[in-house]
Amino acid sequence: MSGLEIGIFSVLAILVLIYSGLYVPVALGLVSFIGVWLLRGTLEAPVYLLTLSAANSIEDYVFGVIPLFVLMGLLVSQSEVGRDIYEVANVALRRLRGGLGVATVAANAAFAAITGVSIASAAVFTRLSVPEMMRFGYRPRFAVGVVAGSSVLGMLIPPSVMLIIYALIAEQSVADLFTAGIVPGLLLSLAYSVAIVFMAYVFPDYVGGPDASERAALMQRTMGLMEMTKKLSPVVVLIALVLGGIYGGLFTPTEAGAVGALGALVTALIRRKLDRGRLWAVAVETGHITASILFLIVSATMYSRMLAMSGLPNDLGVWIAQADLGLYGILTIYVLLLIVMGTVLDTTSIILVMVPLFIPVLAPFGINLVWFGIVTIVGAEIGLLTPPLGIACYVIKSTLADDRISLYDIFAGALPFAAIMLLVLILLIVFPSLSLVLV
């Protein structure tokens, strides 16, 4: 077999094995082992690849960002800051039609700016806003759709574990990716909000909403400026510390993670949401998430080294250059692949498999790899909202535990938001400056 064939078979084998349910790192690692074995003809080379990847590939200062930002995110979730943001947003937007929906988006965006784990925000806001929206007459399908749609903001708005993973795989600066996520994140939030208000006016039956008496009850809710300030202050302080610290050049991303985790710890302690047992449980959970993400990165290193040895990315690049598709043609194929894969695989696996394959292909076009990261993440996340395996929808279903709302309702409700994501993605592709303006 030629190197090219070995490369192609490896990628296909990995996809089939992952889809069948083999542990993702095991699939990446073992197939890479066999690939290198076939390419080199001796057992020494692939053993060397596995061992050195395990020992050295994560031995880098920048990988410290993962445990620290995961710890910060879990501590923030523990301190119930999400509830406070949502309450303030509800009061502030109560006069708007579709206001509770827009409040969910706004609170999610603010929450996303202090956490990096998006599954956390899907779970938090399922518990907070779905019951609240249904209490005020919104249709269940619309309510879960809003939560599903806005939960993806967590991976786009910095800090985000997904942006970190891309940065590590593509060897880009974490700080640059964090910066690049801001405008697209805000743009997507804005698009969601506009769409919600639009739907509330044009399809009132689909959206639902408060009737006269419910509206009156909603208007009764007020909150003094002092109370709002008090509720929002932890968010503002954490954003200022972490994102301000990174952009201001005060901290490296790793340091910002540590400072943010300590800030979140102090917040949780002040609000008495944390005792020793819970702190330990949060730290153990952090360890599990860290170990599983970083072990994935170890195996992805094996995979991308195997790919490079096989020469597949280069050959693919030559072949695509001859096909004369142009940048937009290739990106269209890439995004379609991402969306299809996103419907059955999780975002991390997609990034790990696709990015090492496509970066060399796109290199001749002189694309910006930070912008490419934003495109990749938004593209892969559309799949989070689509059947059969949209993970965000499953998290909502399992958190909700309400038989009146079926998985079908959640997917149907999320569909308009997936469509909006696609529109925003097209904008991001056509106008790279949206992602790069602050970088």
Partner 1 sequence: MSPPETEPHNRDISLLKRAFAGTLSGLNSLGTAWILGLMVLINVDVGARYLFSAPINGVTEFVELSIVGIVFLQLGDAVKAGRLTRSDGLYSMLLTRRPKLGHALGLAFELSGVLFVGLILYGGVPLLIETYQRGYFAGNQGLFVFPLWPVRLILVVGCFVVAVQFLIFAWQHVAVLVSSKESE
Interface residues toward partner 1, by CB under 8 A: 18-26, 29-30, 33, 46-48, 50-52, 54-55, 58-61, 63-64, 66-68, 71, 250-251, 254-255, 258-259, 261-262, 265, 280, 283-284, 286-292, 294-296, 298, 344-346, 348-349, 388-389
CB 299 to partner 1: min, Å:
8
Kind and range of the H or E run holding 339: helix 326-342
Which is nearer to partner 1, 1 or 47 (by Cβ)? 47
CB 289 to partner 1: min, Å:
7
Which is nearer to partner 1, 115 or 349 (by Cβ)? 349
Which is nearer to partner 1, 108 or 286 (by Cβ)? 286
Which is nearer to partner 1, 18 or 330 (by Cβ)? 18
CB 214 to partner 1: min, Å:
39
- Distance of alpha carbon 373 from alpha carbon 361, whole angstroms: 15
CB 241 to partner 1: min, Å:
11
Which is nearer to partner 1, 46 or 158 (by Cβ)? 46
Is the dihedral angle over the CA atoms 25, 26, 27, 33 positive or is it negative?
positive
CB 210 to partner 1: min, Å:
38
Distances (CA, A) of 54 to 17, 26, 48, 247: 21, 12, 10, 32
Cis peptide before 388 (omega within 30 of 0): yes
Residue 20 burial (C-beta neighbours within 10 Å; 0-12, 13-18, 19+):
exposed
Q: Return the SS3 of 13.
A: helix
Only one residue has tokens 């790990």, namely 352
H-type alpha helices, 94-139: 99-112, 118-135
E strand spans, 258-391: none
CB 294 to partner 1: min, Å:
5
State how far Cα 281 lies from the chain centre: 23
Which is nearer to partner 1, 105 or 298 (by Cβ)? 298
- Distance of alpha carbon 93 from alpha carbon 25, whole angstroms: 45
Which is nearer to partner 1, 140 or 342 (by Cβ)? 342
Closest listed residue to residue 180, CA positions, set 354, 360, 368: 368
CB 278 to partner 1: min, Å:
13
DSSP 386: S
Q: Return the SS3 of 56.
A: helix
